[in-house]
A and B are shown apart, each in its own frame.
Chain A
Amino acid sequence: MRLYSIAIYLFLYVPIFIIVLFSFNAGRHASELRGLSLQWYGKALANPFVVDAFVTSLVVALTVAILSTLMGTAAALALQRLKGTLRILFDGMIYISIMIPGIVIGIATLVALVTVFNFLNPLLASVWPEGVKPLKLNMGYATVIAAHTLFTMSLVIILVRARIAGMDRTLIEASTDLYATPWRTFYQITLPQIFPAILSGFLLSFTFSFDDFIISFFVAGANTTLPVYIFSSIRRGITPEVNAIGTMVLAVSLILLMAAQYLLHARTNR
């Protein structure tokens, strides 16, 4: 039994460990280790494509996290008041949007957006004032952010809903009983109570968006995100540079994870 679990952990973590180790490789080839150095990190960070992709990923992930946290939390608070068939309908749609494979979301969003853009762009051009270059809708930041947010918002809704359901309802009644208006009750009692779920939702959304390849691949247009860049550079062969980028992405994710753990622990440790 113990051997079995060790094997599982090895299987999970050894590849990751190897990537981290090889990112410090002094040699030119990804497959043989020749001394340690930081040269590949330097190379990666000096590569304008990598830096661009990294910034794009950060901007997209941050926007997605903020939008989906705000909208998801608001939606969760509203959905909790819904009853009957309408509630079942919305619950169903939320779970379905999480279960749909990323590739389906990617293709469907792409097709939908292309169709809409093809319809709207001539329309816009015709109503645009003379002499000004007309606005042309295109794939880019907005589309990838929208596609990611659609997915991550459902995550936030589910997380926050679970927290609201587990929350002691009498706390809210106690607050209104003590003369707090509904709005004050919300930010003095409800918000602190559901904050851990909102924070997890934010971080999950961020990591999902930061790591996502499939959806971004279809709808990011010219704005290459880091996973898309890594994919395309791997096609030209695995270099230690890719390992270095991978390690940096890993570091960002781990730091976020630890920050979340720390914040949650500091709040709920009671």
Chain B
Amino acid sequence: MSEQDISESPDIRFVGVSKWFGDVVAVDKIDLSVERGAFFSFLGPSGCGKTTSLRLIAGFDQPTEGDVFISGTSVVGIPSHKRPVNMVFQNYALFPHMNVADNIAYGLRQRNPKPPKQEIAKRVDETLELVRLSGFGKRKSWELSGGQQQRVALARALINHPTVLLLDEPLAALDRKLRREMQMELQTLQREVGITFILVTHDQEEALSMSDRICIMREGQIIQSGSPRELYDEPVNRYVADFVGKTNFFNGKVVTANKSSISINSESCAVLVGVKSKGAPTPKIGSNACVAVRPEMISISAADEKDNHADIVIKGHVKNRIFLGEHSEYLIVTEGFGDVLVLSPKTNESNRRIFAPGDHVSISWMPEAVLVLEDT
């Protein structure tokens, strides 16, 4: 890293970072950079190395290989109490022998020189207000609800104005409704304070709705990173498509592949056509691939109707319908293509019928709307 661009350097940068625990590799040669002021998420299944990545930033673990930079400075070997980052723990880790105000003031009290008492009290009050807990200072942490404890943990970190705030599945312990609320609050808060947030989650909905950028991990490696829209529209492989949003997959072997379209011979011998995802390599002819069809890309009609534009029409019957307000979600049992998920918007058009379980239907989609992905 050259000297002049330190002011512009990303808040966090990983260069070839690996972390081994014995002969288990938790993080495998990761390169990554997080821009200043971003809301960044690590997304991936259990055990893929998300927490480990966060702990490498916080300084609880040191990388086996590679270099970690905070604001352009290498922090390898620097212990956690000397790093300008703070963490919100999954279980909150509030100090049980201290009240809420003392918990929040903890970081300030470790400063050398220690700020004067009135200043600490003032900052604690301000921070309590920021997380909407004014007047809770004298409470014990175990007298608070889950959501309130979560906010205390947040306040305890934010009061220090860290360069980066690390959040390890901070909402996992909350119920669904509270989680939605806290997601909104976190987003608003992040914009208000302008601190870089790095969130770890295995909940794709959470990552998609909150982050500017998401990094999808598997077995210690980054599979793809990008904005939520990029990941949704241009997944590099089946793994990402499967992880981000719901998708129907049809497996087969590539028969033709050119710039504009790729066709595969599906397991039920039908030829399916789709386009290549941006950023993904063109699959080789003869290799295993799959067609990924998002449920909202599929249209559904009564079995006797004809859709002339569609490339493929598949017959089946409705197994199940879930009403989701704006949309209806159908599970269609097809001949030769297994169970297919279809998301049908509620419209006023008279030809869009509502189908009931048992109805015979046909489903179809446009080839431009579907992606052919490597089957990994």
Contact = CB atoms under 8 A, between A and B. Distances in A.
Interface stretch (A120-128, A175-183, A232-240): A175-183
Nearest to A185: B81
Contacts of B157: 178
A193 B156 contact: no
A113 interface: no
Contacts of A171: 93, 95-96
A170 interface: yes
B89 A176 contact: no
Contacts of A270: 96, 140, 142
Given A173-B60, A175-B106, A270-B140, A192 B93 contact: no
A210 B284 CA distance: 84
B80 interface: yes
Given A178-B86, A181-B81, A170 B110 contact: no
A270 B96 CA distance: 9
A179 B81 contact: yes
Contacts of A192: 97
A215 B290 CA distance: 79
Nearest to A192: B97
Contact of A173 (B80, B96, B110): B80
A162 interface: no
Nearest to A177: B87
Interface string B239-259: 000000000000000000000
B107 interface: yes
Given A270-B96, A270-B142, A177 B80 contact: yes
A193 B93 CA distance: 13
Nearest to B87: A177
Contacts of A176: 59-60, 79-81
A174 interface: yes
B21 to A, nearest CB: 13
Given A173-B80, A192-B97, A270-B142, A178 B91 contact: no
Interface in B216-259: none
B81 A180 contact: yes
B154 to A, nearest CB: 13
Contact of B160 (A170, A178, A185, A189): A178
B97 A193 contact: yes
B139 to A, nearest CB: 12
Interface residues of A, number: 20
A184 B91 CA distance: 22
A168 interface: yes
The interface size bin for chain B is: 20 to 34
Contacts of B107: 178-179
A270 B93 CA distance: 16
Given A173-B80, A270-B142, A179 B110 contact: yes
Contact of A177 (B86, B96, B140, B142): B86
Classify the secondary structure of A's interface with B: helix
Interface in A154-178: 168, 170-171, 173-178
A42 B45 CA distance: 76
A189 B96 CA distance: 9
Contacts of A184: 110
A177 B95 contact: no
Contact of B93 (A170, A181, A185): A170
A195 to B, nearest CB: 9
B120 interface: no
A234 to B, nearest CB: 47
A174 B110 contact: no
A229 B87 CA distance: 61
A176 B156 CA distance: 13
Interface string B53-73: 000001110000000000000
Nearest to B96: A270
B138 interface: no
B97 A177 contact: no
B87 A179 contact: no
A174 B160 CA distance: 13
Given A170-B89, A193-B97, A270-B96, A178 B60 contact: no
A176 B86 CA distance: 10
A84 to B, nearest CB: 12
Contacts of A193: 96-97
Contacts of B156: 178
B91 A170 contact: yes
Contacts of B87: 173-174, 177
A193 B156 CA distance: 19
B111 interface: yes
A173 B93 contact: yes
24 contacts: A171-B95, A171-B96, A173-B58, A174-B93, A174-B95, A176-B59, A176-B60, A176-B80, A177-B59, A177-B60, A178-B106, A178-B157, A179-B82, A179-B107, A179-B160, A180-B81, A180-B106, A180-B110, A181-B81, A181-B110, A182-B81, A193-B96, A193-B97, A270-B142
A-B pairs with lowest CB-CB distance, top 3: A178-B107, A174-B93, A170-B93
Interface of B: 58-60, 79-82, 85-87, 89, 91, 93, 95-97, 106-107, 110-111, 140, 142, 156-157, 160
Given A174-B95, A177-B60, A178-B156, 14 more contacts: A171-B96, A173-B58, A173-B87, A176-B59, A177-B86, A177-B87, A178-B86, A179-B82, A179-B110, A182-B81, A185-B81, A193-B97, A267-B97, A270-B142
